[in-house]
Structure 1
Amino acid sequence: MRKILIVGAGQSGLQLALGLQSQGYEVTLMSNRTADEIRSGRVMSTQCMFPTALRHERDLGLNFWESQAPRIEGLGVSVAGPDSARLIDWVGKLDGFAQSVDQRLKMAGWMETFAQRGGQLVIHGAAVGDLDFFARRYDLVLVAAGKGELVSMFGRDAERSVYAEPQRALAVAYVHGLGPRPEHPDFDAVRCNLVPGVGELFVMPTLTLSGRADILFWEGVPGGPVDAFQGVKDPSEHLALTLELMEKFLPWEYARATRVELTDAGGTLAGRYAPTVRKPIGRLPGGGLVLGVADVVVANDPITGQGSNSAAKCAAAYLAAIVEHGDKPFDEAWMQSAFDRYWQTAEPVTKWTNAMLAPPPEHVLNLLGAAGQLQPIADRFANGFDDPADFENFFFDPEKAAAYLASLTAGA
């Protein structure tokens, strides 16, 4: 029985641990917090998982909250004008539903399931020295803890990392009491509100510890008016600032948020990080090798909502690579090939996310505008969140965008 150590109990670490466990591997999972500490702690992320990522969970029988979480059937885009009016406003329908489950709920539940199924759960923060000790006792060590000292083992891939500095200041609030969008009250959708030069507000339905909720998520251009959450420690002050900025820049979203309240005292989060692609193999002082997982090696800005989706896809790719490898050694060549397999899905995500962080070129503005009149464009854009590789076919290149528009209007 092959022995595998996974450090980090997020989406990718837990999904991979449970997947390997189901295949008969002897898995040890290291987490710096217990399930109860995760459950009672601060929110860790926003997360909206689209059909492919949800299918990876379903394939492992880990979709415990599927019947409770809101079914997200669409993705809407609104663009604010200088006078806070909506210049663009449409919603695309998803081919399959998306869902968001508060990671405090999901990770705590999955961690308990892993332990109940006989997995070795170690509650301990891991340093590089610890991994040096463990590497000799396991066939494979995977690092899935995206923050802290361990990430420093994985060198920045300069060719694949477009940005050296954070491109957005992030501020999240989980709330109860948000009203429906009056123009689409009959189905749930993620709303992407773009304020040119200022930032973006995302609104997404979610399931949290206290039931149905919504996430208000500001992404502010650094130094701009939405970059205002640093130093705000009080949750109620954080929410008040979130709403104040909504009232100023996005009055149509503020109009349905006048009665909201935080889901709990841990329902806010703020921070920033530079989007970075890292080399996938970490070298320990004693000569051992470890493989980086998900956002340890590909950390994109959350502007395209891909973090948890990429984590699920990485865990699925690594699970398949490990199982297919049989009893052969997990050497450097295998580690690189496992990452290359994941990069096939991560590369389109990275390209699209980096593009969305920059001011949109004219052909993209034309596409976003045309989606208000041509539903197939709105639907295609929405489904690109599930399969970002499709953006290559119509989004990045002005000529491809023009040809796509022409194909839709030829018969009109």
Structure 2
Amino acid sequence: MRKILVVGAGQSGLQIALGLQSNGYEVTLMSNRTADEIRSGRVMSTQCMFHTALQHERDLQLNFWESQAPKIEGLGVSVAAPGSWSEGPAARAIDWLGRFDGFAQSVDQRVKMAGWMETFAQRGGQLVIHGAAVGDLDYFSRTYDLVLVSAGKGELVQMFGRDAERSPYSEPQRALAVSYVHGLGPRPEHPDTEGVRCNLVPGVGELFVMPTLTTSGRADILFWEGIPGGPLDVFNGVKDPAEHLSLTLGLMERYVPWEYARATKAELTDAGGVLSGRYAPTVRNPVGRLPGGGLVLGVADVVVANDPITGQGSNSASKCAAAYLSSILEHGDKEFDETWMRATFDRYWDTAQHVTKWTNAMLAPPPEHILNLIGAAGQLQPVADRFANGFNDPADFENYFYDPEKTAAYLAEVAGA
């Protein structure tokens, strides 16, 4: 029986641990918090998982909350008319809704990670509640066939050097602020459709609104992404959750009044329902070398950390876990050496590279052909639908998004159909 250590109990770490466990591997999972501490703690993310990532969970029979979580059927894009907020609330220049081929869902990671961790322990997995340092891994690497590091923050990440060629940004490109709320009304344009809403405010930032399932039932996530130093970059140092929500709503009233109109009765789901911070999008070397010479393999956002502007974090974590799990199972009883580790990461990078390229493009001011594309989606439903489904499969953007000539040819084709 092969012995594998997974450090970090997030989406990827738990998905790998449970997948290996169900295939008869002896798995140890290290977490710096218990399931109860996770469940009663602060929100960790703004996860919205699209069809492929959800299917990876179904394949492992880990879709425990599928019947409870809202089924998200589409993705809407609204663009504020540039400068329209200088005299008062902003006006909308663009507003449309694209339909998904397969529904998306969001489950608060406090609910999911706590539930998965308890399942892992109930199924006989060895769960170690302990923050891991490099010295700990040096010791463990001698007693395990493979050590996977999926804890995306802190000292362990420093073992994996930055890949400058794949990391165009050295500074954070957005200041992030999240609120989980109850009491949000439906969008009057599509009152019967649960959708993710992407509101773009040129030169200022973005507001995302998404339905979710949290510890207290159905809720919505309000998520500001502000250009650093701009009018949305006001959450640093705000400790009081009520003040955080008040700031969020005040900014909505000015920059996205069409979303604020349904948020007048919004209240926080709980005191832990807010989050703020920022980080630079970074791709890292996937293999970490320990002081004693042992090797560890980085997982998900340890090695590919994208800005959440394209909602890919938990999706990428699920896809990384699925790719790594397949590589481990196919490898049989052979040694998990550096060559295997790099090949395993490359298998994930085949899909992750499209996420990174698209996300980094969305962080930059949009070129004219992208503005034309987003505008055309308001008149051409197939364009809106294709853009929405790109969130599930970002590789498709290669076909029509980056190159102005491809964009123009695609729009002409749809308009003439």
Question: How far apart in 1 are the matches of 2:332 and 2:243?
Answer: 54
Counterpart in the other structure of 1:70: 70
Question: How far apart in 2 are the matches of 1:120 and 1:408?
Answer: 55
Counterpart in the other structure of 2:392: 386
Counterpart in the other structure of 1:61: 61
Query: 3-state DSSP class of the match of 1:136?
Result: coil
Which of 111, 116, 125 aligns to 1:119? It is 125
Question: How far apart in 1 are the matches of 2:14 and 2:225?
Answer: 28
Question: How far apart in 2 are the matches of 1:11 and 1:345?
Answer: 17
Question: How far apart in 2 are the matches of 1:320 and 1:231?
Answer: 43
* 1:296 and 2:306 correspond: no
Question: How far apart in 2 are the matches of 1:308 and 1:231?
Answer: 26
Counterpart in the other structure of 2:351: 345
Question: How far apart in 1 are the matches of 2:335 and 2:286?
Answer: 17
Query: 3-state DSSP class of the match of 2:229?
Result: coil
Report matched runs for 1:10-409 at 5 Å: 10-81=10-81, 82-83=83-84, 84-409=90-415
- Taking structure 2 as the reference length, what is the TM-score of the superposition? 0.98
Query: 3-state DSSP class of the match of 1:6?
Result: strand
Residue-by-residue CA offset, 1:183-224 (whole Å, 9 max, x unaligned): 100110000000000000000000000000000000000000
Query: 3-state DSSP class of the match of 2:166?
Result: coil
Counterpart in the other structure of 2:9: 9
Letter in 1 for 2:400: F
Question: How far apart in 2 are the matches of 1:35 and 1:267?
Answer: 17
Question: How far apart in 2 are the matches of 1:76 and 1:171?
Answer: 20
Letter in 1 for 2:280: A
Question: How far apart in 2 are the matches of 1:272 and 1:71?
Answer: 29
Letter in 2 for 1:173: S
* Deviation of the 1:302 alpha carbon: 0.1
* Deviation of the 1:67 alpha carbon: 0.1
Question: How far apart in 2 are the matches of 1:359 and 1:180?
Answer: 30
Question: How far apart in 2 are the matches of 1:85 and 1:174?
Answer: 25
Residue-by-residue CA offset, 1:130-169 (whole Å, 9 max, x unaligned): 0000000000000000000000000000000010000000
Query: 3-state DSSP class of the match of 1:402?
Result: helix
Letter in 2 for 1:15: Q
Letter in 1 for 2:230: G
Question: How far apart in 2 are the matches of 1:255 and 1:187?
Answer: 17
* Deviation of the 1:410 alpha carbon: 2.2
Residue-by-residue CA offset, 1:327-375 (whole Å, 9 max, x unaligned): 0000000000000000011000000000000000000000000000000
Residue-by-residue CA offset, 1:43-87 (whole Å, 9 max, x unaligned): 000000000000000000000000000000000000001221110
Letter in 2 for 1:21: Q
Question: How far apart in 1 are the matches of 2:47 and 2:182?
Answer: 17
Question: How far apart in 2 are the matches of 1:132 and 1:163?
Answer: 31
Unmatched 5+ residue regions in structure 1? none
Query: 3-state DSSP class of the match of 1:112?
Result: helix
Question: How far apart in 2 are the matches of 1:157 and 1:380?
Answer: 31
Letter in 2 for 1:382: A
Query: 3-state DSSP class of the match of 1:230?
Result: coil
- Taking structure 1 as the reference length, what is the TM-score of the superposition? 1.00
Unmatched 5+ residue regions in structure 2? 85-89
Question: How far apart in 2 are the matches of 1:345 and 1:229?
Answer: 33
Question: How far apart in 1 are the matches of 2:415 and 2:127?
Answer: 58
Question: How far apart in 2 are the matches of 1:127 and 1:197?
Answer: 41
Identity %: 83
Query: 3-state DSSP class of the match of 1:162?
Result: coil
Aligned residues: 411
Query: 3-state DSSP class of the match of 2:164?
Result: coil
Query: 3-state DSSP class of the match of 2:168?
Result: coil
Question: How far apart in 2 are the matches of 1:48 and 1:286?
Answer: 40
RMSD over equivalenced CA pairs, Å: 0.4
Letter in 2 for 1:231: G
Question: How far apart in 2 are the matches of 1:252 and 1:154?
Answer: 43
Question: How far apart in 2 are the matches of 1:242 and 1:150?
Answer: 33
Question: How far apart in 2 are the matches of 1:384 and 1:104?
Answer: 27
Question: How far apart in 2 are the matches of 1:299 and 1:210?
Answer: 29
* Deviation of the 1:170 alpha carbon: 0.2
* Deviation of the 1:377 alpha carbon: 0.3
Letter in 2 for 1:30: M
